[in-house]
Structure 1
């Protein structure tokens, strides 16, 4: 803090696109704090974070990594959030409990648009955030300047970006910076603090212009500063720092720093800015609407981990009071209290407000829940909801002995990551009877399967869900069926006359009783209906039959040999024999899909829909998203496979969609023939 008082523990989350260098920046921050004595490498898997088998196999962050550190006597927890667009829900949950976010990006204007959803999420939750333009060693030559990067970033941010440094170039390389508040120049040194140098004449004019722009941006939120600028009075340095801190805490501005984490350039300056300008834990608690009228300590679970040796760990932010090992939280006894440096849990005896710790052996709490001493207090009002699934796989255990275990371990996965979901026949992704795992894309689901194998010891077979085709009929017919069997003693006898006809789409199945004179006793009539329904489960084309009516018009029974089972069999026979004579036709499910993307990519989205036999219903601006469009369309479910992969590849990873079942549509021709042949082959192979 600028007044020199020590702050309580604070949390900074590192976020940004995949390959922006967040994990390398975490290593540099820990080195500067003295937590590490030697930096690790993402390429060789020696980083403090990214220690899981899944992360090291992919050379990317696959879950948030937590690192406790101390800088100038103050405690910090740094969270390295995954950058993959498929893992953004994990990043959002970590961001929600942070005091400040550091948005890490490359000096590439063409990639700046990728930050728009992240900036929007931060602003919706009023999370203070600053930008660190990483990899400044790539900004060589004269064809690209920081102002080009700033212009592109500003187009992605709803809040004004405030440049805090201007680069110093020597030849074509960026070798240092000028701090716009102190007006001091520094030359970067790999792995060490920067050298204070004289302000080069070549950068003086740029520095003055940039500083004036910074002050004018701050003056938009402070009348006193505005008056000083109008009167050409230079504001004091401490006054500028205070204004920067206030505006950052209020999510009014986005300070922008620069450096190169790989060479430790600019990292210590970033640390100092975090130390002086990040608000206290009480600010984040107020932002999340954490209730005040709660006696005793108050913590919030934001992630759970089912670890092999420690059991379930609940990662929590301590909002108020103190927490210690062995105390009671939400009516359960805490069985271990830990902090992390990378993947290594370090046992602690106690934690205070502001800390992030893992509490052991709390079985009931879930992500987002607030916990008091006696009970869980529900989910925080501003807690982000899980995103809708956009990809699905049917899963089954490779070993029959693991089939009973599968549901339990899937429940643990969903407990860890609520953006996963599973169940039998989840619409619109799969047919009934298939165990489906849903998530945010193929990488997300591949990670889940790897964790099932490596952490829980359950190897999984997976495949794409089968399309839930149906069939119906185009015309009606009358059908007579008699079931007669004599086996000694009482036999089996049932005789029915039925009429079968098509119904309008979406009507399902309708049964009509037209029996007069008691030719079929009323006690047997429900059995005829039940038998007919059994026949509808597998129609002439191999699929369940829908939108059919059956009327029982006549029949016979035997006083001794007739039974409910006999009439059930007769009803099934009548329906099964009638359907092939009623011009059966295949029906395919059509989904109502809403696709969203920046307006620059709308034409690509429309071509994508058309290329998947889709029918575009229209498009309009995405509500509340300036510069984005929403395209609504009907798309056959059979053409939805990997839609999210192609959509993201066409839109810099920004596009997404939601889908729901809308209606069934007739499918004819060669494509229908291929579907029927495939179904027959599948049934024959079973």
Structure 2
């Protein structure tokens, strides 16, 4: 078995919002001796959540990197955001960790909140433990909670300890491997005590369940259990360690971070059982035995004093400041003994997490060796779910805003910037309202760019229902050469999605050939804003007659004549509003399926049915069609009815006619916007 103390190991702390990850990090650092007084979220002095945006909202909004040591072993903790709106950082951090600690609430009703996390971990075979936090607030037995958690875990759960209760309160625990009992001492290491008599039967039952779980992967242990032979503790520990590394079993611990209960026990389990960097390389990279330095970027940040910094896991070291990585020269190498103030170092060994300065070509997910990048397996960027329209508050800040947004989206790939040509808006897409608010706050703080935000416009369009023919005649005398153009246009509707087509049926040269492109150009320019105020689509125009003047005719005159014909002709073609319709798929636990369907129907959506979500027991995918104008707060309702675990995906599907009061309101709003522009 590899020596796990020779290089830093990385543990990612993940879990739903309000599960207590940041408090757990404080307690772990206290147990390691890194801090001597724990910070509190309400006091805005925790080691994690160091950014102003995190402290303003009392929640993690980015991954925090903290280095420490425990019994002389080097460790790196990645404290990941719990909110689903900032989960991209958590997803990326999990790709470079040796183990994940999934922090969850002791309420069975909230247990399903960790299911998406457990699914993501198992899909990539990432070793993970579960830490049930706030055990002092539990209103149910640990047995009931374990049953709830097992229902949402694809891997068998291995309870590692059972609680000792006195007067209904958890006052300690019994370790199921060592069979030693401990009493909690808030703020201090637990006391070793004699196992209480009333807990012995429960301890024996739970220990037998643990051994049976392990026997599924250990034939020797299975034979021993069948012969009623108790396997030695050393074999139990070895099996637990191997099964954790191979993601065959999920150890479960409990405690209370606020009172430091169970923290040392968790830290000891991490120390003895977490795989080392070499083992993670084999799992993640299927390493070929190469010995050259290798690092992988999992986060990109832009700092005021250091410029671009790539946070990376060193898979193989050493890497040194001033050498090359990914084809770029390293310009500064940093460690994270204090997260908000990285310290400059000269080199880093295998397993370390470092900040690397000025790797201008490197992006999140890149696997870097000395000369170039290697292809790497990396999770897809999360699909956007909400958007806002932004524009600079100060005149002339457009270029500055563009550069700042490019850096923000490089720091957080789940932020997408779009210049919407249909509405002429600059849009920021993200995972929800808070995600977008934080992006706007960072624009102001990091890049000194104030913006005004608005709800994005819906890219409505319009089309026609009837055909019409119209003459457009433009004549102007100005004293010298005049302007003259005369066209006869036939306007017809086309099928939905067929776009625009132009043709000419001119005979006898009544409109000279050199002016016909100007007629088409005039039609195209006019169609950018039809009588309802929106672009006109799915129609065709034929130029079939006209006249010209040998001296006064020009391309401009014929373009203007075409626009006059269109202005009068389209009005006779029964223009109608078109709204964009999205194809949506809403993923929710099946007890929320009816709520997801109701969310569609109350938004003028069309329910197309639902199916069981593949590979997700107890989950459904609701299929439907939804007007884009009704999408803006859909994710809010889905999350509020599913404790934050539900989500949806969308794609544009088609344009659909909109009539009646809804259409009248859209046209009136558009008219007001154009008049006030």
Matched, 1:44 2:76: no
1:541-571 residue CA offsets vs partner (Å, 9 max, x unmatched): 1111111111111000111111111111111
Worse overlay, 208-217 or 278-287: 278-287
SS of the residue 2:350 aligns to? coil
* Structure-2 separation of matches of 1:4 and 1:610: 59
Distance 1:251 1:327, change over 3 A: same
* Structure-2 separation of matches of 1:342 and 1:203: 43
* Structure-2 separation of matches of 1:407 and 1:495: 45
* Structure-2 separation of matches of 1:4 and 1:391: 47
Instruction: Report the equivalent of 1:99.
Output: 98
* Structure-1 separation of matches of 2:98 and 2:5: 16
Matched, 1:222 2:218: yes
* Structure-1 separation of matches of 2:79 and 2:291: 33
* Shift of residue 471, structure 1, vs aligned partner: 1.2
Matches within 5 A, 1:417-428: 417-425=412-420
SS of the residue 1:607 aligns to? helix
* Structure-1 separation of matches of 2:143 and 2:441: 43
Instruction: Report the equivalent of 1:202.
Output: 198
Match for 1:523 among 514, 524, 533?
A: 514
Match for 1:580 among 558, 562, 571?
A: 571
Matched, 1:392 2:387: yes
1:434-488 residue CA offsets vs partner (Å, 9 max, x unmatched): 1111111111111111111111111111111111111111111110111111112
Instruction: Report the equivalent of 1:466.
Output: 457
Matches within 5 A, 1:498-537: 498-537=489-528
* Shift of residue 393, structure 1, vs aligned partner: 0.9
Matches within 5 A, 1:341-420: 341-378=338-375, 380-381=376-377, 383-420=378-415
* Structure-1 separation of matches of 2:201 and 2:405: 61
1:43-88 residue CA offsets vs partner (Å, 9 max, x unmatched): 1101011010100000011101111001111100001100001111
Instruction: Report the equivalent of 2:178.
Output: 182
* Structure-1 separation of matches of 2:460 and 2:423: 11
* Structure-2 separation of matches of 1:39 and 1:23: 11
Worse overlay, 243-252 or 545-554: 545-554
Instruction: Report the equivalent of 1:73.
Output: 72
1:626-684 residue CA offsets vs partner (Å, 9 max, x unmatched): 22111111111111111111111111111111111111111111111111111111111
Matched, 1:495 2:491: no
Matched, 1:323 2:319: yes
- Structure 1 gaps, min length 5: none
Distance 1:310 1:517, change over 3 A: same
Asked if the contact 1:164/1:255 (under 8 Å) is kept, the reply is: yes
Distance 1:40 1:225, change over 3 A: same
* Structure-2 separation of matches of 1:291 and 1:5: 18
Asked if the contact 1:613/1:635 (under 8 Å) is kept, the reply is: yes
Matches within 5 A, 1:622-641: 622-641=613-632
* Structure-2 separation of matches of 1:74 and 1:133: 25
* Structure-2 separation of matches of 1:37 and 1:364: 40
* Structure-2 separation of matches of 1:13 and 1:136: 21
* Structure-2 separation of matches of 1:210 and 1:670: 65
TM-score normalized with structure 2 length: 0.98
* Shift of residue 333, structure 1, vs aligned partner: 2.0
Worse overlay, 3-12 or 244-253: 3-12
SS of the residue 1:666 aligns to? strand
Instruction: Report the equivalent of 2:233.
Output: 237
* Structure-2 separation of matches of 1:374 and 1:477: 66
* Shift of residue 4, structure 1, vs aligned partner: 7.7
1:137-193 residue CA offsets vs partner (Å, 9 max, x unmatched): 1125xxx10001101111111000000000001111101000000000001111211
Distance 1:286 1:432, change over 3 A: farther
* Structure-2 separation of matches of 1:676 and 1:5: 67
* Structure-1 separation of matches of 2:594 and 2:548: 66
Instruction: Report the equivalent of 2:662.
Output: 671
* Shift of residue 334, structure 1, vs aligned partner: 1.5
Matched, 1:482 2:481: no
Matched, 1:645 2:640: no
Instruction: Report the equivalent of 1:567.
Output: 558
* Structure-2 separation of matches of 1:294 and 1:236: 38
SS of the residue 1:683 aligns to? helix
Matched, 1:546 2:537: yes
* Structure-1 separation of matches of 2:214 and 2:614: 30
Instruction: Report the equivalent of 1:306.
Output: 302
* Shift of residue 595, structure 1, vs aligned partner: 1.1
SS of the residue 2:473 aligns to? strand
Matches within 5 A, 1:126-145: 126-139=125-138, 144-145=140-141
Asked if the contact 1:66/1:343 (under 8 Å) is kept, the reply is: no
* Structure-2 separation of matches of 1:560 and 1:385: 63
* Structure-2 separation of matches of 1:585 and 1:138: 60
* Structure-2 separation of matches of 1:537 and 1:332: 46
Asked if the contact 1:294/1:372 (under 8 Å) is kept, the reply is: no
TM-score normalized with structure 1 length: 0.97
Asked if the contact 2:584/2:648 (under 8 Å) is kept, the reply is: yes
* Shift of residue 5, structure 1, vs aligned partner: 6.6
The CA RMSD over aligned residues, in Å, is: 1.3
* Structure-2 separation of matches of 1:291 and 1:557: 76
SS of the residue 2:509 aligns to? coil
* Structure-2 separation of matches of 1:646 and 1:583: 38
* Structure-2 separation of matches of 1:207 and 1:7: 35
SS of the residue 1:481 aligns to? strand
* Shift of residue 293, structure 1, vs aligned partner: 6.0
Instruction: Report the equivalent of 1:252.
Output: 248
Q: How many residues align?
A: 676
SS of the residue 2:479 aligns to? coil
SS of the residue 1:29 aligns to? helix
Instruction: Report the equivalent of 1:271.
Output: 267
* Structure-2 separation of matches of 1:5 and 1:387: 34
Asked if the contact 1:50/1:342 (under 8 Å) is kept, the reply is: no
1:390-414 residue CA offsets vs partner (Å, 9 max, x unmatched): 1111111111131111111111011
Asked if the contact 2:320/2:348 (under 8 Å) is kept, the reply is: yes
* Shift of residue 287, structure 1, vs aligned partner: 2.1
SS of the residue 1:395 aligns to? strand
Instruction: Report the equivalent of 1:335.
Output: 331
Matched, 1:615 2:614: no
